[in-house]
Chain A
Amino acid sequence: MFRKILIANRGEIALRVIRACREMGIKTVAIFSEADRECLHVKMADEALLVGPAPSSKSYLNIDAILEAARSSKADAVHPGYGYLAEEEKFALACQKEGFVFIGPTPENLRIAGDKIWAKETVSRAGVPTVPSSEGGVASLEDAMDVASRIGYPVLIKAAGGGGGRGIRVCRNPSELQEEFAIARAEARAAFGNEEVYIEKRIVEPRHIEFQILADSRGRVVHLGERECTIQRRYQKLIEESPSPRLTPRLRREMADAAMEAARAVKYVNAGTIEFLLDPDDRYYFMEINARIQVEHPVTEQVTGIDLVKEQIRIAAGEGLDPHLEGLEPRGWAIECRINAEDPERGFLPCPGVVEIFRPPGGYGVRLDTHLYQGYELPMYYDSLIAKLIAYDRTRQGAISIMRRALEEFLIEPIRTTIPLHLRIMNDPDFQKGEFSTDFIERFIPPGEDEED
């Protein structure tokens, strides 16, 4: 087992990994930028090393500085968290080359999963249904228009190098496709360094259902059930839950099998997630592989009793999957609300500043993953996710009731947060019935207000 792990991340996920390491008797090394000297993960690690100035490109994305930190602290392994370098093949290869174990999938997994076209082709060959799309990228507007008329509007233009909801444009008809195509390519080049785009059918009223996978280096694959992540705004998840209120036992079995087929098709190792879209007619389609531990991993942990970060560490250390993980039956229901420092009453304007009052919720069925503390100043350089509040109980209604109570208790002041929005969602009758699709959030946002300013 590793003696020391460097966590190449910040904030709540860095804290999450530090906690798992503590419990396993593994020493921890935190990295931080100049804007993060007071971040909680720095205070909680055994050692902390400055890696650069505030901008992410010079710190949390600075491979050289991070490897130097790993060298000087004599870490055995590096955990990349999520975001930042977690899915950067170059980083995984550099860690390997320097003799640090990268706690996550293989560089080959990252290469396939990171190319959304390649991932679809690979799993499709293994018999997993995928969303109807162009065969590979489309290089010209002409090709795009051909594909779109073949698969039928509405369509999405998606960046091959995108993922996580980024680099997606909706086209409801041929003239919108004409307008958007060139811009989409330019944006893709700017954002991902890769201008390749593909055309995909836009599934109407979809549910976003994803399966948690664990795989060891001996080829053994298990799934730990699904998460429903349909409640989103601009493709960013707001609320996740496990299990999904939408799935029947039969659908669950079929989709879980498809998820494991997809993982085997790419020879996946370590923790990962297979994402599907489910349409109102019970047809499911593979969307993408998330080759990382995900933000919403806690809901799976609560209903399975499995610490996913520890499993990641064990797999990376060469251990085989524990046999009891096979055929694990989830129990109860967990819901997570992602709390952002944004004002839902004012177009989700970000709210930086000092957390002058911090009164977290507690009690039965409450879990809080956060790096906040009273007196902490939110830096302006990094994203606005400040806490993940998780509620769990035997039933979905019970979990909702606990979440409502916990949200009401939770004080973060004077900065504005999305807590009031989450409360409105918990009180929404359709949410309570489990009946919603990806446009659910629109009812809480006045028309026109949520356009790009």
Chain B
Amino acid sequence: MNGGNSKRIEVRAPMSGIFYRKPAPDQPPFVEVGDRVKKRQVLALLETMKVFQKVRSPSDGRIVEIIAQNESPVRDNDPLFVIEED
């Protein structure tokens, strides 16, 4: 892995909604800072108008930052995660 040349990308909210880091209140978060993730892996849930959608990783990589707060509202295009691509 060439750490010096890897790209950082932001995962942004596809629309306004409430951001959840966990699949359910009594379960652990989908991911933590430092976790390796695969493309399409579920990172979080977004609840909009009572409908849940999955927020997925755009590529293989590592979570370097979790910007959005659990159970907080986010707006369309707000940054949620920063991922360092493999």
Total interface residues on A, CB under 8 Å, equals 17
Please state if A352 and B51 are interface contacts (CB–CB under 8 Å).
Answer: no
CB distance from B77 to the nearest CB of A (A): 12
Q: B54 on the interface (CB 8 Å rule)?
A: yes
| A200 interfacial contact with B, CB 8 Å | no
A350 and B49 contacting across the interface, CB-CB below 8 Å: yes
Chain A residues positioned under 8 Å from B17 (CB to CB): 350, 352, 380
Among B15, B48, B54, max chain A CB count under 10 A is at B48
**Which residue from B47, B73, B76 sits with its C-beta under 8 Å from A54?**
B73
Find out whether the CB atom of A383 lies under 8 angstroms from the CB atom of B49. yes
Size of the chain B interface, CB-CB below 8 angstroms: 14
Check if B16 is an interface residue, CB within 8 A of chain A: yes
Determine the residue in chain A with the shortest Cβ distance to B15: A352
With both chains docked as a complex, state the minimum distance between the C-beta of A93 and any C-beta of chain B, in angstroms: 27
Digit string of A367-393 for contact with B (CB within 8 Å is 1, else 0)?
000000000001011111000000000
Which residues of A sit under 8 angstroms from B76, Cβ to Cβ?
A: 352-353
Q: Which residue of B lies closest to A340 (CB)?
A: B49
Listed residue (B16, B18, B49, B50) with the most chain A CB atoms within 10 angstroms of its CB? B49
Q: Which residue of the partner chain B has the closest CB to A379?
A: B49
Nearest chain B residue, comparing its CB with the CB of A452: B52
User: In the complex, A116→B74 CA distance in Å?
Assistant: 37
A84 to B24, alpha carbons, bound, how many Å? 21
Contacts of A54 in B (CB 8 A): 73
Q: Given A350-B49, A352-B49, do A381 and B15 touch, yes or no (CB 8 Å)?
A: no
Residues on B with beta carbons closer than 8 Å to the beta carbon of A350: 15, 17, 48-49, 51, 53
Q: Give the residues in chain B near A384, CB-CB below 8 Å.
A: 49-51
Are B24 and A342 within 8 A (Cβ)?
Answer: no
Chain B residue numbers with a CB within 8 Å of A341 are 49
Docked-complex contact B50 and A383, CB < 8 angstroms: yes
Cα(A383)–Cα(B47), bound, Å: 10
Taking CB atoms and an 8 Å cut-off, the chain A residues in 325-373 that contact chain B are 341-342, 348-353
A37 to chain B, nearest CB (A): 15
Given contacts A190-B24, A350-B15, A453-B54, contact A382 B73 (CB under 8 A): no
Q: How far is the CB of B76 from chain A (nearest CB, A)?
A: 8
Interface residues of B in 27-56 (CB under 8 A from A): 47-51, 53-54
Give Cα distance in the complex from A256 to B76, angstroms: 49
Q: A54-B73, A352-B16, A352-B17 are in contact. Are A380 and B53 (CB under 8 A)?
A: no
In the complex the two chains form, is A348's CB within 8 Å of B51's CB?
yes
Kindly list the 7 A-B residue pairs having the minimum CB-CB distance in the complex, ordered from nearest. Answer: A384-B49, A350-B48, A350-B49, A383-B50, A380-B16, A350-B51, A352-B16
- Could you list which residues of chain A lie within 8 angstroms of chain B, going by C-beta atoms? 54, 190, 341-342, 348-353, 378, 380-384, 453
Provide a sorted-by-A list of 9 A–B residue pairs whose CB atoms are within 8 angstroms. Answer: A349-B51, A350-B17, A352-B16, A352-B76, A380-B15, A380-B17, A380-B18, A380-B47, A382-B49
Please give the residue numbers on chain B whose beta carbons come within 8 Å of chain A beta carbons, in ascending order.
15-18, 24, 47-51, 53-54, 73, 76
